[in-house]
Amino acid sequence: MDFKSFGDKAKEMAGAATASATTTAGKMLDEFNEALPTMRALGFVVKDLHVGMGLLPEVGAKLVATTDSMDEKKIQELIDKHAEKKLLVMALKGLYAAYNIKKEIPDVPLKGVQLDLTMTLPPRVSVSFVNNVVAAA
């Protein structure tokens, strides 16, 4: 195989990967839109939305709430109720795990929680507890 053929094959593979990633990103955005009502019911609001472009595109959102609005039993009920919704369950499990860790550090009075969802391949979630109630409101 000569260099030109190799380059053409690489472009073809990159185009197929990009098309697949775009389709997957669209599905993740659909899942994100489906998850929003449940997250709002837990007291979360969307703080920001960001888009990144690269070999794999990514869309991220930060959702914030006050820690007073969190209820571990409610989170577990929602995980069980929405087991088929992968992105929502991933976010809820991250939130649940973070609250269990936070219980082990009771002397740190943090008033807000921030959930950072990144929809890419693979999707990821991180949870932060913040001291600034205004940022979480």
pLDDT at 22: 56
pTM, rounded to two decimals = 0.74
| Residue 83 reports pLDDT greater than 90 | yes
Give the pLDDT of residue 53: 83
pLDDT tens figures, 10-34:
566 555 555 555 566 677 788 889 9
* Cα gap 136→12, rounded to integer Å: 45
Q: Which amino acid is at 131?
A: N
pLDDT at 15: 59
Contact present, 85 and 102 (Cβ < 8 Å):
no
User: What's the order of all strands across the beta sheet hosting 58-66?
Assistant: 45-52, 58-66, 112-119, 124-130
